Amino acid sequence: MKIVLTTITAFLFSILLFTHDLFAQIDRETGASFATRSEVIGQRGMVAASQPLATQVGLQILREGGNAIDAAIAANAAVGLMEPTGNGIGGDLFAIIWHAESEQLYAINASGRSPLGLSYNRLMEILEEMGEDRIPPYDLLSVSVPGAVDGWFELHEKFGSLPMEQILAEPIYYAEEGFPVSEAISMYWQRSARILSERVGAFRETFTIDGRGPAKGEIFRNPDLGNTFRLLAEHGRDAFYRGEIAEKIDAWMQENIGYLRFEDFDRHTSEWIDPISVNYRGYDIYQIGGNNQGTAVLQMLNILEGYDLSAKGFGSAETLHLMTEAKKLAYEDRARHYVDSDFYNQPTDHLLSKEYAAERRELIGERAMRGVQSGVDVMEDGDTIYLTTADKHGNMVSLIQSNFRGMGTGFVVPGTGFSFQNRGELFSLDPDHPNVYEPGKRPFHTIIPGFAMKDGKPWFSFGNMGGAYQPVGHVSIITNVIDFGMNIQEAGDAFRWMHSGSTEPTEDSDAMLDGTGILHLESGVSYDVVRQLRSMGHTVRIGEQFFGRYQGILFDEEQGVYYGASESRFDGQAAGY
């Protein structure tokens, strides 16, 4: 009798599994079984951002006759107001721009530098007095010059079409009249408020309601930021770097033992650079090199190009194993060579050569690689925003902007309406490391915009925020689209992975990966895959990691339309017209 019941139970269970698999394939009207929604399609313009009202601000600029560059600036200003948990004008910016008229791809590094008046020796003395062995994240030591505003004006001067007064009009309105706080942002805001509300300065008055973060749907106003936007609209970048705002910051820093001075702002410049690229299966994938981690995306793709990922299948144990091992290899180079090009001659050509990729690929076997000692991960939780825009002329912008840790340091100069970033935390203190702290130097950055071209023409503007996850996210999106045939919304909806434990650019120059690290998988992966990965030597955990947030716009030249995608796990929205 027991044997009969066991047989019946097994039979019923197999039917249940079959039914589940069947319905998993048919309960989405279009797209893969994991797809949450369709792509957005528009002909004359598209904006994708992590906050719906910011998306609408950018779209309105396009409708008013502005171009993709104008829309990107407006959307960035709006999302800095509405999502201060990820970005704001106290932070830095990077962007890649396809300019249709010149048929050329441009890139800008709008990251700021460390204080000129703080030497390495003095920094080490201060840290010793504090009992710290690294630059603390929530201290004025971690504040570098905010570069985002200069980035806006550089973009506008080179490519903008509407006046800045018009571009900043809606962000000013929302700052002064208020906006309803969206759900996920509210959660992060409340968490940050608990951490930062006692900071010296005007954080409590600027970013809380009676000491707490705003609830979902609650109207929030930031009139001080609105006034700062007005100063920028009327007086340009000099209001921030050579005028009233710089003077306020200088005075406040001196009163509170900070290290930035008027001279640091006065001497700040963004840098127009040539983006770096590799060809991946016929597509040219572009990143910004230098002091950010975009080079890791290209190194990983070079390594993975040697495998037939399409045949191995999306989400298979073999595919995830290869991707994880490629990440380990690229991130060890990332820890040593991705620094400010004004202070170090990064071996970019060698790092991105197909020959070097082939050498590294030889190190990948059937089991998870092990290495030597690594230090503490300090960059896994970086908060950022990514947005992308496109217009009827064919211009496309891929833009990323950040405070680094959520709302940054939490230090707010009264009357300015923004918090300073803590990017300075990402310097190494090892004097032999290329990323060692020096005055006037740009720290390592995690934020990276992505862009892809096909046959010399613009194809895909994409990116995702998420600290150290970002190169993994870029590689996942590109392989999901090119190797696994997903549309750009499916590519973002698909379950994600991340590997932690790699060496960081803040560590000593002789640090290396210790053990295998941890492979984190988002829910949605089958247990059979988890079991196979563990048998290969991987330490696998479900969740326990931040998997970023994604936006993308793809241009279909044959149809003459834009396809937009946004993050289904957050408050994001893509909208076109």
Q: Residue range 175-179: average pLDDT?
A: 98
Neighbour count for residue 247 (Cβ, 10 Å): 12
CA distances from 350 to 35, 331, 333, 354 (A): 39, 15, 11, 9
pLDDT in tens, 376-417: 334 445 568 999 999 999 999 999 999 988 899 999 999 999
**b or e along 26-39 (b: 16 or more beta carbons within 10 Å of the residue's beta carbon)?**
eeeeebbebbeeeb
Distance in angstroms (rounded) separating the CA atoms of residues 13 and 19: 10
Return the pLDDT at 280: 98
Summarize the confidence of residues 212-229 as an average pLDDT. 98
Of the pLDDT bands very low, low, confident and very high (cuts 50, 70, 90), residue 515 is: confident
Return the C-alpha torsion angle 260, 263, 264, 270, nearest 10: 160
Radius of gyration of the chain (CA): 24
Q: Indicate if the pLDDT at residue 14 is higher than 70.
A: no
Is residue 493 a contact partner of residue 513, using CB atoms and an 8 Å limit?
A: no
Q: Does residue 420 register a pLDDT over 80? A: yes
| Whether residue 4 has pLDDT greater than 50 | no
Residues forming beta bridges with residue 463, ordered by sequence position: 551
* Interval 162-168 mean pLDDT: 98
pLDDT computed for residue 22 by the predictor: 43
pLDDT of residue 223: 98
Residue range 251-272: mean pLDDT, rounded: 97
384 an active-site residue? yes
Three-class SS of residue 72?
helix
Asked if the model's pLDDT at residue 198 lies above 60, the reply is yes
pLDDT at 27: 63
- pLDDT value of position 1: 52
Residues sharing a CB contact under 8 Å with residue 454, sequence separation 6 or more, in sequence order: 282, 283, 284
When mean pLDDT is compared over 376-385, 491-500, 511-520, the highest value belongs to: 491-500
Q: Are 410 and 80 in contact (CB under 8 A)?
A: no
Instruction: Average the pLDDT over 275-286 and give the result.
Output: 98
pLDDT bin (cut points 50, 70, 90) of residue 511 is confident
For 210, phi then psi, to 5°, come to 55, 40
Q: What is the pLDDT of residue 16?
A: 42
Could you list the beta-strand ranges (E) of 210-311: 219-220, 271-273, 276-280, 283-287
**Residue among 85, 384, 389, 506 flagged as catalytic:** 384
Which pLDDT value is given to residue 140? Answer: 96
Q: Whole-number mean pLDDT of the chain? A: 92
Interval 4-18 mean pLDDT? 45
Give the whole-angstrom CA distance, residue 191 versus residue 214. 10
| Contact predicate 181/217, CB 8 Å | yes
CA 387/CA 149 separation, integer angstroms: 16
31 vs 486: CA distance, rounded Å: 8
Residue 271, SS3 per DSSP: strand
Structure tokens at 550: 């994604």
Question: In the prediction, which pLDDT does 543 show?
Answer: 87
12 falls in which pLDDT band (50, 70, 90)? very low
Q: Closest Cα partner for 557 from 397, 398, 390?
A: 390
421-458 per-residue burial string, b: 16 or more CB within 10 A, e: under 16:
bbbbbbbbbbeebbbbbbbbbbbbbbbbbbbbbeeeeb
Q: How much is the pTM?
A: 0.93
For 111-149, the pLDDT digits (tens) are 999 999 999 999 999 999 999 999 999 999 999 999 999
Write out pLDDT tens, residues 304-347: 999 999 999 999 999 999 999 999 999 999 998 999 999 998 89
- The CA distance from 480 to 322, in Å, is 14
Tell me the mean pLDDT in the region 74-98: 97
| 3-state secondary structure (DSSP) of residue 170 | helix
Mean pLDDT over 142-164 rounds to: 98
Q: What is the pLDDT of residues 437-489, one digit of tens each?
A: 999 999 999 999 999 999 999 999 999 998 899 999 999 999 999 999 999 99
Hey, what domains does the chain have and what are their CATH numbers? Answer: 42-272+382-426 (no CATH), 278-380+447-570 (1.10.246.130)
Residue 404 backbone class (left: φ over 0; alpha: ψ -120 to 50; beta: rest)? left
Q: Which of 218-227, 257-266, 360-369 has the lowest mean pLDDT?
A: 360-369
